[in-house]
Structure 1
Amino acid sequence: MPALSVLDLIPVRSGQTTGEALRASTALVKTADELGYRRFWVAEHHNTTSVASTNPPVLIAMLASATERISVGSGGVMLPNHAPLVVAEQFALLEAAFPGRIDLGIGRAPGTDPLTRYVLRGQSAESADEAVARFAEYVDDIGMLMRPEGVEMSYGPRVQPLRATPHATSVARMWLLGSSDYSARLAAQKGLPYVFAHHFFGQGTAEAIKLYRDTYQPSEAHPEPRTFLTVNASVAETKEQAYRLAIPHMQAMIALRVGGALEAQRSVEEAEEIGFPEGQDRMADAMASRWIVDEPESARRRIAEFAAEHGVDEVMVQPIGGALAAHPVDRYPSRERTLRLLAG
């Protein structure tokens, strides 16, 4: 088996408050830490009723404080939404508090709707587009600002030092994240680790990873290309049980793709009662075929084959098992069970 890691969007289900969802994710990261998972990442999504992971740095501090060993990071910070200095300051402080345990995964997409994007930056649509266009420059800025020596900048007649934190002794690990060849090319050009969003698209992974490896330019920090894979997973004692637990997430992903509303995640019983409209059952089956929806032994074998196929030594799973009506609102028993069954 390759090393295993976890991606958590902190889903909010029906009848659950934000605080209860956060407590459930805290229990999930403790489970991952206990089982020896390598890292635990949280995403950045805004203005949705089904996802509580709006602010990765705040969540990372919370989750790292609750654990002892596991690396905690962002999967990712959507850089066009933020000033580079702010991101550098946040992750320099996190690294100072939890040295060697912080990952800064950076994405280029806004991860939200146009209104929220505007409010986040307080800028016009043209300025927001400029932030996307300057993504490569902003990545460099963050890397330089987090260094112990920082940078020197001219401001009027003065040359002034600028650094993210007064006295850094280590630097958060930077990763570029993407769902197209843009980030693969940029990560290769800058000699940075790279992750393709396979869990979201399920296609184009081999091409993106090959492009990254073939064009990689070694850096001092990373003489060799470094990447891993992401995949959705629902694992239970039988494949049928695993599929049943995955239905709420399938319905949410189908709604996203057909332009439906993203509501609080349904319980498994609610999702079963609604089912899939005609035609969407085929979409659900297609999703399940690309995800790891299986019993433990077969799930572990498929993950090992998946890693070997793409030549990686790590797979990050997003546990997607839904909650039963009887489950406590401050835990994710199905998701915790997936981690336990995969860990063996």
Structure 2
Amino acid sequence: MSPTPRLSVLDLVPVHSGQSSAQALAASVALAQAADRLGFTRYWFAEHHNMPSVASTTPPVLVAAIAARTQGIRVGSGGVMLPNHAPLVVAEQFAALEALAPGRIDLGIGRAPGSDPVITQLLRMSGPTADVDRFPEHVADILSLLSAEGATLRLTSGREYPIQATPVAASVPEVWLLGSSDYSARLAAELGLPYVFANHFSGEGLERALELYRTGFRANERHREPQTILTLNAVVAESADEASALALPNLRAMARLRLNRPMRVLETVEEALDAPRDGDVDEVIARMRVGWVVDEADAAAGRVRDLASRHGIDEVMIAPVAGSRAGGPADAAPGRERTLELLAGALTA
């Protein structure tokens, strides 16, 4: 049998029809507490903006809330989209989070916009700090700012000006680089950072990205060897048929996104099952479904284990994308919680 990878959770805080943002966030709190009880390694929030079905707009706020409501699980961002923010602000936020929950905070950094072009422009009105071409420089700035020594700015007068993200750091967040391209893999290797491949969004180029990362990795005092996480969309239920039904709302939403159709709140399972057939949507779903784990517990666990073994992955970060049934609790996500329970149980059995 293949080794069992560590398990973690990626949460976009989905919002379905008949549900408010407050209820969606309450469901995510309950899900994070379940992941904590089940022994998952970490719980991360993605950063997305102005999307009707996604409430994970502010990872630092959500990280603070979950860190205060859990005991041992690491909590972090998956990730902060750095071009949307000033590096100093990001460093200050996560230094404060680390001070509040020492040894439990992760800062996952990405360079994608996390939204449409209009919202991207609104987020990036801060000028040169939002220059995507300066992404490597800004990542390095954050690493320096988070260190106990801080960073030094040389002013035009020639005087050196010390900067720290927090006055007296006793520990620092663990920084991860996220991506799904050669660029991110090479940069993570060059900086000697652990690397997350965003397989939940695009599984293309996985093998090449991992090879570039591992062969180019530069060891440092904090990270002696490469470390990898693979994200994965998953729905696990008592039967394969039930898992397929629960996966349909998110599959249809992703298909609409890829077809550039108007986005809306997630359908309930019943709404998705009753929706008129659409050949274009069905075709996109069929292609995406191949890369998702949608099955009963033992089969799903086997796929997760084999995937991690085949690519030498240290940790699999599950995006539990089970939909909600009509009439279910608005402030909980039974299908998502059951995905974590069944998968964790099958992998450790």
TM-score interval w.r.t. the shorter chain?
A: over 0.9
**Amino acid of the structure 1 residue aligned with 2:79:** G
1:69-84 equivalent positions in 2, closer than 5 A = 69-84=72-87
Deviations along 1:261-295, whole A, 9 cap, x unmatched?
11100100001111540243232233222110000
**Amino acid of the structure 2 residue aligned with 1:188:** A
1:197-212 equivalent positions in 2, closer than 5 A = 197-212=198-213
Equivalent in the alignment of 1:306: 307
**1:195 and 2:193 correspond:** no
**Amino acid of the structure 1 residue aligned with 2:120:** R
| Structure 1 unpaired stretches of 5+ | none
Equivalent in the alignment of 1:289: 290
Root-mean-square deviation (CA, aligned residues, Å) is: 1.3
Give the TM-score normalised by structure 2: 0.95
How much does 1:319 deviate? 0.4
CA contact (8 A) 2:227 2:314 kept: no
**Amino acid of the structure 1 residue aligned with 2:148:** P
1:120-269 equivalent positions in 2, closer than 5 A = 120-123=123-126, 127=128, 131-157=131-157, 158-269=159-270
1:315-334 equivalent positions in 2, closer than 5 A = 315-334=316-335
CA contact (8 A) 2:63 2:77 kept: yes
How much does 1:333 deviate? 0.4
**Amino acid of the structure 1 residue aligned with 2:85:** H
How much does 1:151 deviate? 1.7
Equivalent in the alignment of 1:338: 339
Give the TM-score normalised by structure 1: 0.96
In structure 1, distance between residues paired with 2:78 and 2:322: 20
Deviations along 1:180-221, whole A, 9 cap, x unmatched?
110000000111111111111122111111111011111111
**1:101 and 2:104 correspond:** yes
Taking structure 1 as reference, are residues 234 and 108 closer, same or farther at Cα in structure 2, changes over 3 Å only? same
**Amino acid of the structure 2 residue aligned with 1:177:** L
CA contact (8 A) 1:243 1:288 kept: no
Equivalent in the alignment of 1:110: 113
**SS of residue in 2 equivalent to 1:161:** strand
Taking structure 1 as reference, are residues 334 and 275 closer, same or farther at Cα in structure 2, changes over 3 Å only? farther
Instruction: Report the count of equivalent residues.
Output: 341
Which stretch shifts more, 145-154 or 316-325? 145-154
CA contact (8 A) 1:251 1:276 kept: no
**Amino acid of the structure 2 residue aligned with 1:152:** T
**Amino acid of the structure 2 residue aligned with 1:329:** A
How much does 1:123 deviate? 4.8
**Amino acid of the structure 2 residue aligned with 1:325:** A
In structure 2, distance between residues paired with 1:256 and 1:170: 40
Runs of 4+ in 1 over 3 A off after TM superposition: none
**Amino acid of the structure 2 residue aligned with 1:139:** V
